A and B are shown apart, each in its own frame.
Chain A
Amino acid sequence: MNDDQNKKKLLVVDDDPQQLAIMQRLLSSGEHDVLTAGSGAEAMGIILGEEPRIVITDWFMPGMDGIQLCKTLRQHEGVRFVYIIVMTAQGGEECMVQALDAGADDFVRKPLKQAELLARLRAADRIVCAESDLAKRTRELHRTNAEMALTHQKLNKANEQLRRMATTDELTGLLNRREAMSRIEQFWASMERYDQIFSCIMLDIDFFKKFNDTHGHAAGDKVLKTTAQVLRSTCRKTDLVSRVGGEEFLILCPGVGADGAKICAEHLRAAVEKTAIEYEGTPMLITASLGVAGGSKLYENSDALIKAADEALYASKAAGRNRVTVAADLNAPRTEPGAKPAAAPKPIVVRTGP
């Protein structure tokens, strides 16, 4: 509905037809489209249907009187703001107070002088315009807020997706190399600051390249995905499993030293070995070689720790694959006076596999 048109609509309510007639005449020189109602009930119908912005109502009328009309309009949820002028032939200050408290915006006594009536309507127009403006701004504000909330939601979703993409390996759903390196830095810092131990296990699928060349990339991908599932379900919930290379996985075990990690690594090795990977109807068996290094301040940094796990892994490969090797116990060199901590300790082969 056109707001500018409604702004000009004015409703006069009086049960006396001749009172309505003279009001209409007095208002004819003004700028309003004058509507009339002979009762409070009729007025309600016109207000809901025509949405006049100003209502001038008589007080005493049979049925719904002017005061009841005020109260109804103010309580009615569906009615937008209307400026209400209550007019009465009698009544002193207490009547005025009653009318204003009932929700009237203005109170006038009959007989109404034309100049005064038109001046009061100009004042009413100012309020109606201000209210319309405010309502419009409020609507715009609500719309902008809703749009911003939607944008915010989209942005959050996009950020979440980006964050996931930045931290996750697409093929396996495991943490990616970048995220694994970030986590190991955190573990390293916690170890240095609070002596919180952790270990890392490096795992490499045996003969993966050969497997890939023989059976194709799709089969290779299936192997990687299945291995990822096996690792995740075999590890403890607190362990972080990541894919750091083509067929290379790094498992970070917080709160666990080299001995505990060795047990964990053996579980992983056994789990991979016994998993039959279905590919195009053919079950395929694979094995993995693992290297374990317990976090220790005797390593220069986290890179040195990973390097130690890597070297233990290659010792497993060299010793025939499908086995676990633990990097040398770095506490040992400290017992020798004057000896430097080994930056790259020689792995000790611990054969736990077949």
Chain B
Amino acid sequence: MNSSAHTSVPEPLISQLAHEADLLDLIELFVHELPRRVEAMEAALHANDLSALAGIVHQLKGAAGSYGFPIITLAAKQLEDAAKSGAAPEQLASDMRRVAGLCARARAAPACAERGV
């Protein structure tokens, strides 16, 4: 239901666990905290501290899956691999943008989305 394609209009990325009422508050908290994670990653990338970047992205990679965002996990894995292998700055910047973009679209449930699914 969520497109991973780059579109000009940001489409909300709804957690696959949105139907789990028990988890909703936690997912909302996770989504709420995503900008903080993205900021930390961008700061590390800006400081060219690739090992710190890899660490933060690794955490995101694990947590995102658990919170119903497997697509963020995939993107995070790509960025983590790039950071670990010391990829070219352009590559890192591109992977970073992709992760940040997905994080910005993440929503806990359709009710939290700006538009309906």
Contacts and interface: CB of A to CB of B under 8 A. Distances in A.
A16 B65 CA distance: 13
A112 interface: yes
Nearest to A29: B22
B45 to A, nearest CB: 18
Interface in A37-70: 58, 60, 62
B75 to A, nearest CB: 12
A16 B29 contact: no
A19 B29 CA distance: 12
B33 interface: yes
A18 B29 contact: yes
Please tell me the size bucket of the interface on B: 10 to 19
Nearest to A28: B22
Contact of B22 (A25, A62, A110): A25
A112 B67 CA distance: 10
A19 B65 CA distance: 10
B66 A112 contact: yes
Interface residues of A, number: 19
Contacts of A58: 62
A159 interface: no
B67 A89 contact: no
Interface string B35-77: 0000000000000000000010011011101111010010001
Given A110-B66, A111-B65, A16 B59 contact: yes
A15 B61 CA distance: 13
Interface of B: 22-23, 26, 29-30, 33, 55, 58-59, 61-63, 65-68, 70, 73, 77
Interface of A: 14-16, 18-19, 21-23, 25-26, 58, 60, 62, 88-90, 110-112
